[in-house]
Amino acid sequence: MSSNNPPRSTHTVASRLTLWYALFYTLFCLVMLLAVTAVMNSNAVKRMDQYLSAEIDEFNAIYETDGIEGLAKEFRQEAEAYGAQKLFCRLLSPNREPRLTSNIAGWEGLDAELRAVAVPTVPLQPAFQMLYPAASPFNARMATLKTADGHLLQFGINLQSENRSRQKIQRFLIIGSVLFLGVSTLFSWVVAQRAMAGVKAVTRAVSFTRKDALDQTLPREKKGREIDDLVDAFNGMLARIQSLILEIKEVSDNVAHDLRSPITRMRGAAETTLMGPQEIEPYREMGSTILEECDRLTGIINITLEIAQAESGLLEIRRNPIDLYALLTDAAELFQPVAEQKNIRLDVRIAPAPLTLPGDQTRIQRVVANLLDNAIKYTPEGGEIVLAATADKQSVRFSISDAGPGIDPAETERIFERFYRGEQSRSSQGNGLGLSFARSIVVAHGGTLTVENNPDHGCTFTATLPLVPPETR
pLDDT one-digit tens code per residue, 100-148: 988 888 888 888 888 878 888 888 889 999 888 888 888 889 999 999 8
Determine the average pLDDT of the residues in 87-112. Answer: 87
CATH code linked to domain 320-472: 3.30.565.10
Cα–Cα distance for residue pair 407/425, rounded to 1 Å: 10
- The DSSP secondary structure of 127-166, one letter per residue, reads EEEEES-TTSTT-EEEEEEE-TTS-EEEEEEE-HHHHHHH
When comparing pLDDT for 471 and 99, which is higher? 99
Cα dist from 414 to 39, 95, 405, 407, whole Å: 76, 112, 17, 10
| Res 245 pLDDT > 50 | yes
By CB atoms closer than 10 A (0-12, 13-18, 19+), residue 228 is: middle
| Res 172 pLDDT > 70 | yes
- The boundaries of every CATH 3.30.450 domain in the chain are 13-166
Closest CA to 372 of 411, 408, 333: 333
Give the model's confidence band at 1: pLDDT under 50 very low, under 70 low, under 90 confident, else very high.
very low
Q: What average pLDDT does the structure give for the chain?
A: 80
Q: Are 273 and 282 in contact (CB under 8 A)?
A: yes
CATH topology of domain 225-312: Helix Hairpins (1.10.287)
Helices (H) and strands (E) in the chain, counts: 8, 12
pTM: 0.48
457: number of Cβ within 10 Å? 14
Q: Are 153 and 91 in contact (CB under 8 A)?
A: yes
| Res 421 pLDDT > 70 | no
CA angle 272, 275, 276 (to 5 degrees): 80
Residues 207-218: pLDDT tens digits?
A: 666 555 556 666
- The boundaries of every CATH 3.30.565.10 domain in the chain are 320-472
Q: 115: Cβ–Cβ under 8 A, 6 or more apart, which residues?
A: none
Give the model's confidence band at 428: pLDDT under 50 very low, under 70 low, under 90 confident, else very high.
low
Cα–Cα distance for residue pair 369/372, rounded to 1 Å: 5
Cα–Cα distance for residue pair 323/388, rounded to 1 Å: 14
Write the class of the CATH domain 13-166.
Answer: alpha beta
Q: 76: Cβ–Cβ under 8 A, 6 or more apart, which residues?
A: 102
User: For 192-196, 375-379, 382-386, which range has the lowest pLDDT when averaged over its residues?
Assistant: 192-196
Name the DSSP letter for residue 231.
Answer: H
| Res 257 pLDDT > 70 | no
Cα–Cα distance for residue pair 203/97, rounded to 1 Å: 87
* Beta pairing class for 345-349 and 384-391: parallel
Instruction: Tell me the angle at which helices 361-378 and 434-444 cross, rounded to the nearest 10 degrees.
Output: 150
CB neighbour burial string for 432-450, b if at least 16 within 10 angstroms, e if fewer? bbbbbbbbbbbbbbbbebe
Tell me the sheet residues that pair with 384: 345
pLDDT computed for residue 261 by the predictor: 66
- The boundaries of every CATH 1.10.287 domain in the chain are 225-312
pLDDT computed for residue 61 by the predictor: 92
